Structure 1
Amino acid sequence: MTDPRPRLVIIAFSRLVSDARVLKQIARFREQCAVTTIGYGPAPEGVAEHCAIPDEAALWRWPRVALILRQYRRAYRGNAALIAAREALRGREIDAILANDIESAGIALEVVPPQQVHLDLHEYAPRQREELWRWRVFVAPFVRWMTRRHAARVPSVSTVSPGLAREYRAEFGIQASVVTNAAPSIDRDPHGTGSPIRLVHSGAGLANRGIALMVEAVERSTADVTLDLFLTRNDPRFMLELAELCAASARCALHPPVPYDELADTIARYDVGVFVLPPVNVNYRWALPNKLFDFVQARLGVIVGPTPDMAAIVREHGVGAVTDDFTAAALTRELDGLTPATVDAWKAASHRSARALSAELEVEKWATAIGAILSRGR
């Protein structure tokens, strides 16, 4: 029997079963649509069909000569991951495509008109790794070409923060709505804060994410605090250095990452989530990451650096503190003033704000966009 539901394709060049943002898209649409996913790894739960991109077909491996010669159409056509996605789409009947990140836009536009695409931009792609000169010289012009040629043609676009939406509008005229990386709502009560006050940070193990400064700040603090880190091994050299720092510390501990579906229960054992992110590129400057919302759903207090979109949420909802700047000294000053009573007040604010800052409200923005596409098709 033919499935009567609208046919929605979700494309993301990530390992889908561990991509929190894409999993929220899948969870929102898998009941009302026949969802086909295209991405790396095994099939996500509940999809009608999954087309796996081979692990060896790395998206970042662009044809080098074509990039150097600025033959961007050739570079785009010759990427192994895009070739695999193109083959997966061949001959399909499709009502709508939810394309994730800039690289997916052109593939989607090869098979359906722009009015059948919603493009979700997770980063500000044209300046994603602008701190690296080789990326600025060879890759950035190509990404700008993809943005102008593909993304700017799509009328339905979203991104993760107000700051990134402004960047896309200013440089490319792209009118992107904001769908934050809010975490799914969890029904839990905050626990009382004792001594020591237990700090936690989870995420990517990268040298430019300010992790070492967080360790330094805890080591310098006069407050009774500890810090536990749950990090993926994105940069093995940095992770070795960090492991040595933590091994020499009585206050800081480094742990392996935990699966996303276990993360909320893991970090809920702590008191304060910490993330001080130096703005080394435009995406860090306008970051509004998963972990901020994970901290709230875990009913933790929050300490962040003065990253504007993160700081705005922390201040508006009263869930924590914002450091004066992005240095270890600024974080130490915040830690020195911590008391269990202060942290308990932050946890209570997280509890009050958890529903308002949940994914259940944010994903409805995607539902509205895809609904509009499907209505036009009917």
Structure 2
Amino acid sequence: MSSKAGKLLILSLSPLRSDPRVLKQVNLFRDKYDVVTCGFGAAPDGVEDHVKLAAGLPSWPRDPKGLLKRRYRQVYWNIAAVAEASRLLRGRRFDAVLANDANTLPLALSLDSAHGVHADLHEFAPKEHFNKPAWRLLVAPYVRWVCRTFLPEAKSVTTVSDGIARQYGHDFGVEAAVVTNAAPYADLAPKPTSRPIRLIYSSAGQRYRRIEDIISAMDGAPEGLELDLIVMPNEPAYVDELRRQAEPLANVRFREPVPYSELVRTISDYDVSISVIPPTNFNLANALPNKFFEAVQARTALIIGPSPAMQDLLERHGLGAVTEDFSAAALRKVLLGLTPEQVDQWKKNAHQAAEELSSEYQNRGWERAIDALFDGGQRRPR
């Protein structure tokens, strides 16, 4: 018989072994609870059991007629990944469920759990793809229905930044605590800034991130700067365009993606991490992304755009520079003013902030929420 405090299901309709936020949850709870995971791909290390969903199953609605007719409950339970997860989890009992993202909420609440559900929301779900007209017309009203109907039934809620937490409170009357996308603490020390200064930009390869502006900023940058890019092939045609754009620039190179477990140490070989994220949708405008915290743990300096959540932390801890806007010209202006002495100081400040900005410190919000479920905490006020 297990000596752990109970059985916790961590549910996410994502490839779990490459989902940094879910992996942090698993690592946080696997020693205290019997953790069962449900999602795509192989089991994360250290879990008690894993419910594997078949690869390629859609996890969002593929029923435009149902969406138009607002048959939302039917639409939800006909989503292929939801239907399979429901079938595989039927008859199993859990002490609590940690549901990741709005698309797991109805499923999580339908399960047999003694102490209820904690919802962890990785984005502001109703505006996740708001820049796409079809999504805005058909899917956004459905997602608002999911949030309006099911979020108040969760015993507690967390999300990734203060701006997104405020929006959930404003739109759906739920109080969401903030657990940032902090990276695990890395026992590293700042390295002296190199000559030339080495810059790194890592990102998903998605057109709305305007990565071409990062490359353009290096056209006319000082000779003492070099930029490497690690870009995931989310949109292969777009990534090919970026590679062609960079070909004439001797100071810009692409390198192959590395496993998440190796990313911080890879970044630590550089001097400055660039995290300029144009506010092309609500969630990006309120972003406090993984890459910000990975840079801190790697003990690099940071250059960011004027994104409020990032700017607040960067200025509080003296981690780097903020561009005037999100343009290539504004980034180039900051690059023109970089000095090794300045970068060295920002690296030292990152070292001093690394513990406070680590996942071990930040993830206490999850720990408090899940422990409260197991301790029989009362449903929060609605």
Q: TM-score band, normalised by the shorter chain? A: over 0.9
Encode CA deviations 1:302-348: one digit per residue, 9 max, x unaligned: 00000000011110000101111111111111000001001001101
> How many Å apart are 1:4 and its aligned residue?
5.2
Q: State how far apart, in whole Å, the 1-side matches of 2:2 and 2:23 are.
A: 25
Q: CA deviation at 1:65?
A: 2.3
Work out whether residues 356 and 362 of structure 2, in 8 Å CA contact, stay in contact via their aligned partners in 1: no
Between 219-228 and 279-288, the greater mean CA deviation after superposition: 219-228
Asked if 1 retains the 8 angstrom alpha-carbon contact of 2:159 and 2:179, the reply is: yes
Counterpart CA distance in 1 for 2:367 and 2:112 is 19
- 1:115 is displaced (CA, Å) by 5.5
Deviation of residue 84 (structure 1)? 1.4
Unaligned runs of 5+ in 1: none
Shift of 1:222: 3.1
Q: How many residues align?
A: 378
Q: Distance in 2 between matches of 1:169 and 1:252?
A: 43
Distance of 2:332 and 2:101 partners within structure 1 = 37
Q: Which amino acid aligns with 1:359?
A: S
Quote the residue 2:195 is aligned against. 195
| 8 A Cα contact 1:99 1:118, kept in partner | yes
Other-structure match for 1:21: 21
Task: Tell me if the contact between 2:116 and 2:155 (Cα under 8 Å) persists in the aligned partners.
Answer: no
1:169 is aligned to 2:169:
yes
For the 8 Å contact 2:4–2:32, the answer to whether it is kept is: no
Q: Which residue of 2 aligns with 1:357?
A: 357
Task: Answer yes or no: is the 8 Å Cα contact 1:95–1:377 preserved in 2.
Answer: no
Instruction: Give the share of equivalent positions with the same residue, in percent.
Output: 43
Opposite residue 357 of structure 1, the aligned amino acid is L
Q: For 1:175 and 1:115, how far apart are their aligned partners in 2?
A: 19
- Alpha-carbon distance in structure 2 between the residues aligned to 1:191 and 1:82: 47
Structure 1 position 18, deviation (Å): 0.9
* Gaps in structure 2 of 5+ consecutive residues: none
Taking only aligned residues, the RMSD between alpha carbons, in angstroms, comes to 1.5
Distance 1:4 1:242 in 2: 50
**Distance of 1:5 and 1:156 partners within structure 2:** 19
1:17-166 equivalent positions in 2, closer than 5 A: 17-112=17-112, 116-166=116-166
Do residues 323 (structure 1) and 294 (structure 2) align? no
Say whether the 8 Å CA contact 1:264–1:297 is kept in structure 2. yes
Question: What is the distance in 1 between the residues matched to 2:46 and 2:2?
Answer: 17
What is the CA distance between 1:112 and its match in structure 2?
Answer: 4.2
Partner of 2:275: 275
The secondary structure found in structure 2 opposite 1:57 is coil
What SS is found at the alignment partner of 2:192? coil
Q: Measure, in 1, the Cα distance between the counterparts of 2:178 and 2:200.
A: 27
Give 1:179 shift. Answer: 0.1
Aligned CA distance change for structure 1 residues 316 and 253 (closer, same or farther; 3 Å): same
Runs (4 or more) in structure 1 with deviation over 2 Å come to 1-5, 60-65, 112-115
SS at match of 1:39: strand
Query: Structure 1's 311 and 377: CA in aligned 2 closer, same or farther, altered over 3 A?
Result: closer
Letter in 2 for 1:304: I
Cα distance in 2, alignment partners of residues 4 and 347 from structure 1: 40
Q: Which AA in structure 1 matches 2:154?
A: V
- Scaled by the length of structure 1, the TM-score of the pair is 0.97
Residues 96 and 114 in structure 2, CA contact (< 8 A), matched pair in contact too: no
